[in-house]
A and B are shown apart, each in its own frame.
Chain A
Amino acid sequence: MTGSASATSIAAMLLLLIAAPIIPGVASRTKAILTGRRGSPVWQLYADLWKLARRGIVRSTTTTWIFQLAPIVLLTTTIVAAALLPLDGRASTLRFAGDAVAFAGLLGLGRFALALAALDTGSSFEGMGASREVTFASLTEPGLFIAFATLGVIAHDFSLSAMLADTVGRGAASAAAVPSLVMVALSVFALALAECSRVPVDDPSTHLELTMIHEVMVLDHSGPDLAMILYAGALKLGVFAAILLNVLVAASAERGWNSGAGAVVALLGGLVGMGVAVGVVESIMARLRQPKVPLYLAGGSALALFGLILVLR
């Protein structure tokens, strides 16, 4: 890893941290345009975060330290997971063999903490949300790992930097791997919608507690706590946008970015693109009935599995 590469990777990391809240904004803006409404501005989440950060906190009387720790763990693990990704298209800030496992593990730790915080309130709604969240997450995880395994087989290396960055992965990705990469991209997008609690698995704009999954888990969080959770959610979308961007670039281009700066600009494009894609999906389809969600997730995983079988031959 050269000095300039690590400089761009830090720049890309900063860009992700700053620009991530734009994704939900772009998504709702897209939705508004497609459904002919005026809608909220793109930077709505920035305003919300700013407002929440300055608010006081109301905590439930039944809660313990885990409730206070959970938003912090969620945000921290999401940030560290992002640092494992080669955001500048070259190498990640933290890179090691098998770091894909750590990536999934960190997201898992965040989810574990948030679900425990939900149960900490003793509310039946939040218990319900926690139950649904861990149920669907446990079905998302195998698909995500199949996608990682496929990318790893193509790159001959089980670290995210090799799987996603241009240097190694691109060189090895022959034309034969392109169908697999496309399938992996579709699969990751499908799973990312579930992982980030968007339609068709969950609907962040619903107002009925009984139908919520992620939102209902955080009913009792307020002020800076809620801000951290909302920000972590946006960041998670950004993380998956970065993965998708790199997979798509790997599938389309013979060579990667010549300069790290170009990759950083592309990352910004990727974040906006993710927002648009999420917004389009939310405009054209309703969320699935919950008994159908496992089928959706299995379908998404199966797509990646076909990709894996193609590269294994």
Chain B
Amino acid sequence: MSAFLAGLGLILAAGVAAALIRGARARAGDAVYQLLLIIGCITGGAGSIRVLTVGAPVSLTMHGAMPGGDWVLGIDALSAVFLLVIFGVGAACAVFGTHDLATERAAGRRATWFTQLSFATLLASIALVVAARTVVVFLGAWEVMAISSYVLIVAHHEEQDVRRSGLIYLVATHTATLALFAMFATWDVTAANWSFDALAAASPSLSPGTTIAVLLLALVGFGFKAGFVPLHFWLPPAHSAAPSHVSALMSGIVIKTGIYGMLRVLLLLGGAPAWWGWLVLGLGVSSGVLGVLWALAQHDIKRLLAYHSVENIGIILMGIGVGALGVAYHAPVIAMLGFAGGLLHTVNHALFKSLLFLGAGAVYRATGTRNMEELGGLARRMPLTWLGFVIGAAAIIGVPPFNGFVSEWLVYQGLFAAGQTSEVSRLAILGIPALALISGLALACFTKVAGIVFLGTPRTASAAAVTEAARGSYTPALALAAACGVLGTIPSLGIGLVSATARELAGVGTVGLPSAVTSGAWTISLVALSTLVLSALLWVTRRALGRRRTTRREPTWACAYDAPTPRMQYTSSSFAAPLLSIFGPLSGVRVERSATAMRTHAVDLVLDGMALPLWRRVHRAALRLRGMQQGRLHLYLLYVMAAVLVLLGYLAFGSRLS
């Protein structure tokens, strides 16, 4: 526990150092900030590793004059898994961010110390959310996390779009917090105090109605943060508005606190009824399919990646849903597979999504645009950024030998095992084609992103003029890419990381993953190894063949047309058009035609189609109340009198009414 607190302290100290050492000495400030933050992350991570290897949870209680009762912090297996990812990805994002911000500062655009301070605060607050063991600490850390995220999202507040995105985020996150307050209040009625232990002790005595209320409020409160459809609408604007390293941290880590919250509530309640499992599985499927479909329609690379987070949260929820079904139907193996798959996908997604955002951030920094139609040919100009990005793309589409495959493999097996049961739970097998559709569409989408942005020839002069990003930009990305490769080629590592937590979630009587799965993980290593060896052999053979022949360079074949221009290349819109047209209006693409032009743009069916119209209607209804606000004192006195009379009436006769 002391390692965790020391880590937290160092991270906060890093933020303060960046705030103090600024101005002319900003470069020194950057160095101190990175150093302290990295040491902090390593220290904090070491504490989590100890919890995972020793297997015993640790906790710390602060008695005395703390507001809201004792403050309790603790790290169990679930917290440890999340903390490891938080510290690992957090450090990578911070290093990238420091270099990214340094270029901005060098251009004289603005001071960066405040962003650094907010980033350190955000990182520390996320860690605290995961370690909190009382409601007060949890909600406090949750709010600090929400507010510091907001501050970071609106870093470029001089742009109107950014301010609007920030506002949408603020509304969404506070609606979520409201739901969480309601959830804990509903629960708290029977609990002795505000600690999680007391909540867990009170769970068995909760009435069925209260349990339903708690589960639904948790789903809304944590769902807003996790960002599944239809609660995802804040996510794409916020991610595209925020500085890239912040988008990476938000997409990789912050939205995962929603997943953490759901799992923590499950642990405290000791399982959930079957309907909750079905609901989560259904939400996962719809979020996965719609998320990737909407991603396909995007032109802004960071918005596209944000929609892919919606998709991947869907896959995670599918795993959790299967796990919950396994618990509800007393099938520990299914529960184990589902929870392990969901958890491992949480870890994996944190790694490859932050990697992809760092790549997108490097591209944005180099070219000044996020519009894919204006990019192209960057692979030659930014080879290391491209290497990281293409590994991230292969990981997110779930192909071996990368880490995304391993967690999808577990979820598939959970779905299949559910299909083997004799109860109604076997219908979960229908999730298999859904997951297959999701990964098929993801492959299409990432072929588009990687191909259009990085390959071919540059579509604009600004894309043609770029050079490789700074070492501080691609090194963290490549470190994340290496992690994706290691977890993909040695799946047993990742599975070992999450299996203790999955066992806790799957409940009593669980022995662990079936041996077929744990030994299968090693066979995947063998598959990966043979793929690599065979590729190397073929490469060598081709070189041997080529040694005696000529290898020439000629322009691309364009059917004998010898003056091709970059504008003749396939565009991002045309690449996605066939798939989007298959799904029709569901894809959210709006077409505007005039006599001489046609343009398409992607709308968010939930934000633009539902949330904003609803909000406008509320606003219009509220305007009607304006008649009451006349600004005359005697009118207000009348209102006060009326209110007092109504209350007196209630006191006098209310008891008789009830």
Decide if A170 is an interface residue (CB 8 Å cutoff). no
| Contact pattern, A 58-91, Cβ under 8 Å of B = 1, otherwise 0 | 1111111010010011011101100110000000
- Supposing A57-B546, A64-B379, A121-B556 touch, asked if A108 and B439 sit within 8 A by C-beta, the answer is yes
Which residues of B lie under 8 Å from residue A59 when comparing CB positions? 551-554
Count B-side interface residues using an 8 Å CB cutoff: 84
- Which residue of A112, A145, A152 contacts B394 across the interface (Cβ within 8 Å)? A112
In whole Å, how far is B549's beta carbon from the nearest beta carbon of chain A?
Answer: 4
Please tell me if the beta carbons of B408 and A125 are within 8 angstroms of each other in the complex: no
- Which residue of A55, A76, A105 contacts B535 across the interface (Cβ within 8 Å)? A76
A-side binding surface: helix, strand, loop or mixed? helix
Decide if B474 is an interface residue (CB 8 Å cutoff). no
Please tell me if the beta carbons of B578 and A131 are within 8 angstroms of each other in the complex: yes
- Supposing A96-B523, A104-B436, A124-B570 touch, asked if A56 and B550 sit within 8 A by C-beta, the answer is yes
| Contact pattern, B 116-130, Cβ under 8 Å of A = 1, otherwise 0 | 000000000000000
For the complex, give the distance between the alpha carbons of A20 and B277 in Å.
46
Please tell me if the beta carbons of B542 and A146 are within 8 angstroms of each other in the complex: no
| Contact pattern, A 26-59, Cβ under 8 Å of B = 1, otherwise 0 | 0000000000000000000000000001111111
Please tell me if the beta carbons of A134 and B444 are within 8 angstroms of each other in the complex: yes
In whole Å, how far is A298's beta carbon from the nearest beta carbon of chain B?
Answer: 9
Decide if B639 is an interface residue (CB 8 Å cutoff). no
Decide if A245 is an interface residue (CB 8 Å cutoff). no
For the complex, give the distance between the alpha carbons of A94 and B534 in Å.
15
- Supposing A57-B552, A101-B408 touch, asked if A123 and B437 sit within 8 A by C-beta, the answer is no
Which residues of B lie under 8 Å from residue A158 when comparing CB positions? 412-413, 416-417
Which residues of B lie under 8 Å from residue A156 when comparing CB positions? 420
For the complex, give the distance between the alpha carbons of A77 and B380 in Å.
26
* A72 nearest in chain B by CB position: B538
Which residues of B lie under 8 Å from residue A140 when comparing CB positions? 440
In whole Å, how far is B625's beta carbon from the nearest beta carbon of chain A?
Answer: 50
- Supposing A101-B412, A131-B574 touch, asked if A64 and B455 sit within 8 A by C-beta, the answer is yes
In whole Å, how far is B404's beta carbon from the nearest beta carbon of chain A?
Answer: 9
* B552 nearest in chain A by CB position: A58
In whole Å, how far is A100's beta carbon from the nearest beta carbon of chain B?
Answer: 8
| Contact pattern, B 230-243, Cβ under 8 Å of A = 1, otherwise 0 | 00000000000000
Interface stretch (choices A217-225, A262-270, A277-285): A217-225
- Which residue of B433, B520, B549 contacts A99 across the interface (Cβ within 8 Å)? B520
Please tell me if the beta carbons of B556 and A57 are within 8 angstroms of each other in the complex: no
* Segment 596-650 of B: residues with Cβ below 8 Å from A: none
For the complex, give the distance between the alpha carbons of A139 and B443 in Å.
11
| Contact pattern, B 565-586, Cβ under 8 Å of A = 1, otherwise 0 | 0101110001111110010000
Please tell me if the beta carbons of B557 and A61 are within 8 angstroms of each other in the complex: no
Please tell me if the beta carbons of A94 and B523 are within 8 angstroms of each other in the complex: yes
Decide if A254 is an interface residue (CB 8 Å cutoff). no
Please tell me if the beta carbons of A60 and B519 are within 8 angstroms of each other in the complex: no
For the complex, give the distance between the alpha carbons of A80 and B533 in Å.
11
Decide if B545 is an interface residue (CB 8 Å cutoff). yes
Decide if A192 is an interface residue (CB 8 Å cutoff). no
In whole Å, how far is A83's beta carbon from the nearest beta carbon of chain B?
Answer: 7
Decide if A22 is an interface residue (CB 8 Å cutoff). no
* B549 nearest in chain A by CB position: A56
For the complex, give the distance between the alpha carbons of A124 and B564 in Å.
10
For the complex, give the distance between the alpha carbons of A305 and B505 in Å.
32
| Contact pattern, B 383-421, Cβ under 8 Å of A = 1, otherwise 0 | 000000010011001111000010011001100110110
In whole Å, how far is B539's beta carbon from the nearest beta carbon of chain A?
Answer: 6
* A93 nearest in chain B by CB position: B530
For the complex, give the distance between the alpha carbons of A69 and B532 in Å.
12
Could you tell me which B residues sit within 8 Å of A by CB distance? 376-377, 379-380, 390, 393-394, 397-400, 405, 408-409, 412-413, 416-417, 419-420, 426-427, 429, 432-437, 439-441, 443-444, 446-448, 450-452, 455-457, 514, 516-517, 519-520, 523-524, 526-527, 530-531, 534-535, 538-539, 542, 545-546, 549-559, 564, 566, 568-570, 574-579, 582
